[in-house]
Chains A and B, each alone.
Chain A
Amino acid sequence: METDLLIVGGGPAGLHAAYVAASNGIKTIIVDESFSLGGQLRQQTQQLNNLPKQFGDQTGTALAQTLIERLTNLDVTVLLKHTMIGTYKDGRVGVSNGQNTIPIAAKKVIVATGAAEEAFVFPGWTLPGVMTAGAAQILMNREHVIPGKNALVIGSNDFALEVGKQLVENGVCLQGIVDNEVQLVGKKAETVHFLKEAGVPVYLDSFVKHASGSGEVEKVIISYNNTEEEMDIDLVCIGKGLTPILEPFEILNCDFTYEKELGGWLPQYSTMMETSTSSIYVAGNAAGITNLGPILLTAEIAAVSVAETLNGLSKEEANVKRELSWQELYRLESAESQNAFHARVNLMRSFQDNVDAQLTQLFNMFVGGV
């Protein structure tokens, strides 16, 4: 198969990048290993705030629908249940559907593979009944299965708290939120308020000492205030954050760098979202763990840059669009945390000499403001 642009990953970043590129006349293929598009949006039933202006506020599932429906009538080929498994010597990307491996020759590739949930080790963490917060959310919202009766959430970031809230809403008895941090990591007041009203105990500066049971989790011992408390628990949800998925970048020879605030190791990239390998771009959480607004905007920047190099947009048009996207990205990302955006700028500066010159307006504003 041949195409102008290959997008690896059909989540929010991949879908939005496909729309922006294809609307500018770029022939696009999206591959996704799942049986449907939308990625992690498919189980995000909660309302998403701080989206780019054009999207307003909507739930994750509604946003997935919006992003998918916009691709109708555009030159976008969607290959579901197709997984990128490697590359050929000549640069073609190898995609497998389980039966065959199909080489795709693309002029440009946007890797939008997103992030993986971090694991968290304690004695007994390998027992059935211990799962990531995201897995519990898939069970509830996609499979309509209650993941357990008596739950414990480990971690207190916004996502962990949101999943805690959804467990309560689905009738699960949430016995507690445990975190080794001394205060809640999550900042969303509404969710914190909900959990408080629901009477969910919060154990800070605490940790799970042991989970046990025959064949599945039955009991959990937590260490709290120098004492130990044993609880009857059949579901432990680990919500300790996300880390960018790196495998495709390594196969594509992209250089990595480390930025704690963006989720650890991740590919280096320029203000065009191009990696150290020419014609390979990155978008979404793979370019640094962030919120949905910036996820969509990195996709927009990557797609605009691809359209520019393939003559779908003029240099001037592309510059204007990119600058607006970066400004909105700055606004949305720094509204939640200044650190993530700082780390992003740091990453780009270490890779590209002329970051400041390229986005004079944005970075004058940014440097001046900090």
Chain B
Amino acid sequence: MDDSTIVCKCEEINLAEIETAIKSGAHTFDDIKRLTRCGMGPCQAKVCSNLVRQIISESLDKPLSDIRPPRMRMPLKPTRISALVGDEESSSVISVFSESAPKEGDEDHV
């Protein structure tokens, strides 16, 4: 591995950026996430979670059992806002989003 090797594919964060974050005091996945956007792309850290934990473990000489996975949040998969709102006519959210909500036939580009 060299410094330019990508670790988080979604946000294109490389090894050097993660190591710099650790040198700046980051010691959890979420610290690194806040400093670099690592793990904040479409896969939501599903691919890089354990890779980054491994790097933290090696850099700080801490066992993997001391390094928790990142905070996981809803929605668990990329979901259109229109799908979250649903088809309830009475929803106040839908009235706000109706103008910008994707129409039938619009393609996903998530």
Which positions in A face B, CB cutoff 8 Å? 33, 83-87, 94, 96-101, 116, 118-119, 121-123, 125-126, 243, 246-248, 250-251, 256, 258, 260, 264-265
Quick check: is B9 within 8 A (CB to CB) of the other chain? yes
Quick check: is B75 within 8 A (CB to CB) of the other chain? yes
Q: In the complex, what's the smallest C-beta–C-beta distance from B58 to chain A, in angstroms?
A: 12
Q: Are B72 and A121 in contact (CB under 8 A)?
A: no
Chain B: which residue is nearest A103 at the CB level? B86
Chain A: which residue is nearest B54 at the CB level? A121
Quick check: is B56 within 8 A (CB to CB) of the other chain? no
The number of A-B residue pairs with CB atoms under 8 Å apart is 80
Q: Are A260 and B83 in contact (CB under 8 A)?
A: no
* Chain A hits for B34, CB < 8 A: none
- Could you show 19 A-B contacts with beta carbons less than 8 Å apart? A86-B75, A96-B77, A97-B83, A99-B87, A101-B79, A101-B85, A121-B6, A121-B7, A122-B5, A123-B5, A125-B6, A247-B72, A247-B76, A250-B71, A251-B74, A258-B65, A260-B64, A264-B50, A264-B64
Q: Are A84 and B76 in contact (CB under 8 A)?
A: yes
* Chain A hits for B48, CB < 8 A: 119
* Chain B hits for A121, CB < 8 A: 1, 5-7, 15, 51
CA distance in complex: A121, B84 (Å): 35
CA distance in complex: A250, B45 (Å): 14
User: What 5 pairs between A and B have smallest CB-CB spacing?
Assistant: A86-B74, A85-B75, A258-B65, A250-B72, A247-B72
Instruction: Give 6 A-B pairs besides A94-B75, A122-B1 with Cβ atoms closer than 8 angstroms.
Output: A33-B77, A97-B83, A100-B87, A118-B50, A243-B50, A250-B71
Quick check: is B80 within 8 A (CB to CB) of the other chain? yes
Which positions in B face A, CB cutoff 8 Å? 1-2, 4-7, 9, 15, 46-48, 50-51, 64-65, 68-69, 71-77, 79-80, 82-87
* Chain A hits for B15, CB < 8 A: 121
Q: In the complex, what's the smallest C-beta–C-beta distance from A6 to chain B, in angstroms?
A: 15
* Chain A hits for B82, CB < 8 A: 99
Q: In the complex, what's the smallest C-beta–C-beta distance from A178 to chain B, in angstroms?
A: 15
Q: Are B68 and A265 in contact (CB under 8 A)?
A: yes
Partner of B69, one of A94, A100, A126, A246: A246
- Asked whether A251 and B76 contact (CB < 8 A) given A98-B83, A100-B83, the answer is yes
CA distance in complex: A258, B79 (Å): 30
CA distance in complex: A260, B50 (Å): 12
Q: Are B50 and A98 in contact (CB under 8 A)?
A: no
Partner of B76, one of A243, A248, A265: A248
CA distance in complex: A50, B15 (Å): 42
Chain B: which residue is nearest A249 at the CB level? B72
Q: Are A99 and B65 in contact (CB under 8 A)?
A: no
* Chain B hits for A256, CB < 8 A: 68-69
Q: Are A246 and B72 in contact (CB under 8 A)?
A: yes
Q: Are A96 and B72 in contact (CB under 8 A)?
A: no
Partner of A258, one of B47, B64, B76, B85: B64
- Asked whether A119 and B47 contact (CB < 8 A) given A126-B6, A246-B69, the answer is yes
* Chain A hits for B84, CB < 8 A: 85, 96, 101
Chain B: which residue is nearest A122 at the CB level? B1
The CB with the most chain B CB atoms within 10 A, among A33, A101, A116, is that of A101
Q: Are A86 and B76 in contact (CB under 8 A)?
A: yes
* Chain A hits for B85, CB < 8 A: 101
* Chain A hits for B74, CB < 8 A: 85-87, 94, 251
CA distance in complex: A62, B46 (Å): 30
* Chain B hits for A125, CB < 8 A: 5-6
Q: Are B76 and A85 in contact (CB under 8 A)?
A: yes
CA distance in complex: A256, B7 (Å): 25
Q: In the complex, what's the smallest C-beta–C-beta distance from B63 to chain A, in angstroms?
A: 9
CA distance in complex: A98, B80 (Å): 7
Q: In the complex, what's the smallest C-beta–C-beta distance from A280 to chain B, in angstroms?
A: 15
Q: In the complex, what's the smallest C-beta–C-beta distance from A216 to chain B, in angstroms?
A: 15
Q: Are B83 and A96 in contact (CB under 8 A)?
A: yes
Q: In the complex, what's the smallest C-beta–C-beta distance from A294 to chain B, in angstroms?
A: 22
Q: Are B75 and A260 in contact (CB under 8 A)?
A: no
* Chain A hits for B73, CB < 8 A: 251
Partner of A123, one of B2, B9, B51, B86: B2
